[in-house]
Amino acid sequence: MKIDGFTYNAILLLKTPSPQVVPNKRIKFQGKKFKKEYNTFVTTEFKVDDNVESVKYEVFFSGQLIKEFISAPTNYSGIYHFEKLKTTKSITQRDINNIKKVMVKKKKILITYEQMTQMFPSAKFDRRELVRKLLNKYMPIFKMDTPLIIAHFLAHVYAEVGESLTGNEEDLYYSAKGLKSTFGRYFNYYPSEAEDLGYRRISIRAFNKIPKNQRSKYIKLTKKYAYSKLPDEDGIARRVYACHGNNGYFTLKKGGDKSGSLYRGKGFIQLTWKGNYEAVNNILKRKVPNEKLDIVNKPYSVLQTREGILSALGFWEWQKLNSKAEKGSSPEIVDLITNIVNSKTKSRDKRKQYFAKFYKIMENE
């Protein structure tokens, strides 16, 4: 394509099945004339997929190649400024030296498609790519742009939501005994309610010894257990996470409150308590105002991929976890972060394993 005597090409160099050149058809030109000289802005917009090895740019004047360079295959808009190039029939070395490339700040690809696929192979393609693009776009804003920090962050995301990258709610599968020992802040005052809310079960071995005509009261069977009563998870949440008071944290109230259900642990790094939702929401409004998030009034939105990932970034910033992640790659550092992300988790060893795997992947760009 030509403008003011120039020809500008953007071509994609593919990896497979064999390297080949494909003309890019999404090139837009904009130019302004100032007397006899031209300030010409050439804007390219293109999309690349993971088969693209690189993007090659060529600039011609009167059929003569005067500029070429190869860029990494990133989806972005680039602006190239050919400053005060006179449209004469010949071009001098001085003119060539006058070419000044001004590119819209090109963001480094923090997480490649290959790296994300290695870390989350079972996640649906669209969801995995959405997460990757969100992280590549916003991690620099949160100063989470090193392999070490990224590996720490994603190890905890993996531990919280699994390989599928699907947001979920906190598991409140407790027996009466478990409720009393874990949530004494409520059940120390109302112990009888634990019996009503917790599950009752026996081992599957004990179940198999029961005469078949006496098994009807068991309503759920797993490989290990037979349940005669399932936990009332919403009822538990209403009581142990009630946070309708002015400070947004636990408020003791018999029977609990709907706020407990609303602000039960949710997300990609699970948020609990209205006060915590408010703190993270304030950070998101400041850091990513264009996303227009409101996780306080829409707490279930953190179960969605976009809101969940951004809320996890906000939580990371709020808790100043970069400063801990930067201390190194030892298991002790992973534990320091776990103490803040989920101190009561039983997955400490797994989080260390995830981190070790992800850090190795992130270092091999």
**Alpha helices, H only, the chain:** 93-97, 113-119, 125-138, 147-161, 176-182, 184-187, 191-197, 204-208, 233-240, 258-262, 274-287, 305-318, 321-325, 331-341, 348-363
Q: What is the rounded average pLDDT for all residues in the chain?
A: 80
Torsion, Cα of 172, 218, 194, 173 (10° steps): -10
Q: For residue range 157-178, what is the model confidence (pLDDT) as tens digits? A: 999 999 999 999 999 999 999 9
Taking only the tens place, the pLDDT of each residue in 297-332 is 999 999 999 999 999 999 999 999 999 999 999 999
Q: Tell me phi and psi for residue 280, to 5 degrees.
A: -70, -40
pLDDT tops 50 at residue 189: yes
pLDDT value for 108: 66
What pLDDT is attached to residue 364?
Answer: 83
Q: Is the pLDDT assigned to residue 28 strictly greater than 50?
A: no
pTM exceeds 0.85 for this model: no
The β-bridge partners of 56 are 11, 70
What confidence score (pLDDT) does residue 77 get?
Answer: 35
Q: In the structure encoding, which two tokens stand for residue 144, read together? A: 């989470």
Checking if the pLDDT of 187 tops 90, the result is yes
- The predicted model gives 105-110 an average pLDDT of 60
Burial class (CB in 10 A: 0-12, 13-18, 19+), 298: middle
pLDDT digits (tens, 9 = 90+) for 41-80: 333 333 444 555 555 555 555 555 555 555 554 433 333 3
Mean per-residue pLDDT, 32-38? 32
351 — pLDDT class (breaks 50, 70, 90): very high
Residue 51 vs residues 16, 73, 93, 131: alpha-carbon distances, Å: 6, 9, 37, 20
Distances (CA, A) of 151 to 110, 115, 147, 266, 301: 11, 11, 6, 21, 25
CB atoms within 10 A of CB 202: 14
350, pLDDT greater than 80: yes
- One DSSP character per residue, 155-204 reads HHHHHHHTTTT--EEPP---BHHHHHHH-HHHHTT-HHHHHHHSBEEEEH
Q: What's the CATH code, domain 113-169+266-363?
A: 1.10.530.10
8 A C-beta contact, residue 185 and residue 250:
yes
Q: Which residue has the higher pLDDT, 267 or 7?
A: 267
Q: What residue ranges do the domains of the chain occupy?
A: 2-97, 113-169+266-363, 176-262
